[in-house]
């Protein structure tokens, strides 16, 4: 195992290369999920506000 | 818009709510296949393949460097084709796909440059050199970043996507330059390792070749899974005023859709 990890003396080049590969792709995979959560949250808020506003106008109209 | 000559399933899939659902179903399977093939490819490349007689174990960077470099070109071509469709037919889905290709393409181009640098240091004694292959790959990264920047520079996102699609199309000239740079110029970068058109010219042994090809398969599958997810998010944001998106985020049942006939 230690022999394998040493990569024939090139460990300081081989493992960082694989780390960059994994880290950048992890970013690529998770960034849209975060963006998606934000979009959904904003939209949900907008819809909720719309509903309250509609309910208020309805009540105002009913009382006149 | 005369799109009647398109097969019916393409028409069906071009509709954002249909694509959203279809992509959501397909994506986990593609990612599972990508992870499985990456596990096989990495085991073959890092454990089974013998050390190189000249480069020792440093050459093992090839199993991520070369597939990433192929992806950087493949994703650019995909982006340009989607961009062309977006410009000619103004298909919303094509605009979204073209623009969502750019971050993943930039990611693979960055990986190519970074892993190449980590490979260059022990082999050439330098992290970077203004060699034709390296320089044209750096230009590719700037093209991706230019597409992202131009798209975001417009108030109207659909206009931004079309302007950036035009830039993507112009940038296609860089693809053959990247590909042939090691033949056209005498460079520090090593020549072609795998020649698909003329396999006899490939300079790699079978125990090293198969993990490389499996990793190439894995990165392609990953890209397909990634672009489906990105396109879904892009559509959600672009269509946020539409009824199907409202129904979707409100947690109510999705609107019924016409099945393809």
Residue extents of the structural domains in chain B:
17-49+60-249
Contact with chain B for residue A26, Cβ under 8 A: no
End-to-end Cα separation, chain A, in angstroms? 82
- From the list A24, A35, A44, the residue facing B233 with the nearest CB is A35
**∠ CA(B223), CA(B127), CA(B54), 5° rounding?**
85
State the pTM of this model: 0.90
Beta bridge partners of B52: B56
Q: In whole angstroms, what is the distance from residue B58 CA to residue B118 CA?
A: 9
pLDDT of B255 reads 44
Which overall architecture, per CATH, does domain B17-49+60-249 show?
Up-down Bundle (1.20)
A13:B122 CB<8 A: yes
Contact with chain B for residue A8, Cβ under 8 A: yes
Q: In whole angstroms, what is the distance from residue A5 CA to residue B46 CA?
A: 10
How would you label B141-178 residue by residue, b for 16+ Cβ within 10 Å and e otherwise?
A: bebbbbbbebbeeeeebeebbbbbbebbbebbebbebb
- From the list A17, A27, A36, the residue facing B233 with the nearest CB is A36
- The answer, yes or no, to whether residue B254 has pLDDT greater than 70, is no
Contact with chain A for residue B232, Cβ under 8 A: yes
Q: In whole angstroms, what is the distance from residue B144 CA to residue B164 CA?
A: 10
- From the list A9, A35, A43, the residue facing B245 with the nearest CB is A43
The dihedral formed by the CA atoms of B46, B50, B56 and B60, expressed in degrees to the nearest 10: -30
- The answer, yes or no, to whether residue B257 has pLDDT greater than 60, is no
pLDDT digits (tens, 9 = 90+) for B191-202: 888 877 777 777
**∠ CA(B182), CA(B214), CA(B195), 5° rounding?**
30
pLDDT digits (tens, 9 = 90+) for B78-98: 999 999 999 999 999 999 999
pLDDT of B3 reads 52
Using a CB-CB cut-off of 8 Å, the residues of chain B touching A13 are 58, 61, 118-119, 121-122
The residue of A8, A25, A27 whose CB has the most chain B CBs within 10 angstroms, and thus the best one to mutate to test that interface, is: A25
* DSSP 8-state symbol, B45: I
Contact with chain B for residue A48, Cβ under 8 A: no
């Amino acid at each position: 195992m230690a022999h394998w990890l040493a990569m024939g003396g090139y460990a300081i080049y081989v493992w960082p290369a694989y780390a960059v590969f994994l880290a950048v792709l992890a970013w690529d995979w998770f960034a849209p999920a975060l963006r998606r959560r934000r979009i959904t949250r904003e939209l949900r808020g907008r819809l909720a506000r719309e509903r309250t506003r509609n309910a208020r106008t309805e009540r105002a109209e009913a009382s006149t | 818009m005369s799109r009647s000559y398109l097969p019916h399933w393409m028409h069906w899939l071009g509709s954002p709510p249909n694509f959203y659902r279809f992509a959501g179903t397909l994506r986990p399977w593609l990612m599972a296949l990508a992870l499985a093939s990456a596990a096989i490819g990495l085991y073959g490349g890092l454990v089974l393949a013998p050390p190189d007689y000249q480069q020792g174990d440093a050459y093992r960077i090839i199993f991520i460097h070369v597939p990433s470099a192929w992806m950087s070109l493949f994703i650019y071509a995909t982006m340009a084709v989607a961009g062309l469709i977006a410009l000619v037919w103004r298909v919303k889905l094509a605009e979204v796909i073209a623009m969502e290709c750019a971050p993943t393409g930039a990611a693979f181009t960055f990986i190519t440059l970074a892993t190449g640098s980590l490979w260059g240091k022990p082999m050439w004694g330098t992290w970077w050199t203004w060699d034709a292959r390296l320089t044209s790959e750096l230009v590719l990264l700037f093209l991706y970043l230019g597409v992202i920047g131009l798209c975001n520079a417009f108030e109207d996102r659909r206009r931004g996507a079309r302007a950036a699609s035009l830039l993507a199309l112009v940038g296609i000239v860089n693809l053959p330059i990247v590909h042939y740079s090691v033949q056209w110029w005498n460079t520090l970068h090593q020549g072609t390792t795998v020649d698909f058109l003329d396999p006899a010219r490939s300079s790699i042994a079978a125990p090293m070749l198969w993990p490389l090809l499996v990793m190439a398969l894995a990165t392609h599958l990953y890209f397909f899974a990634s672009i489906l997810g990105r396109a879904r998010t892009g559509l959600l944001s672009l269509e946020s005023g539409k009824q199907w998106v409202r129904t979707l985020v409100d947690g109510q049942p999705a609107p019924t859709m016409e099945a393809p006939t």
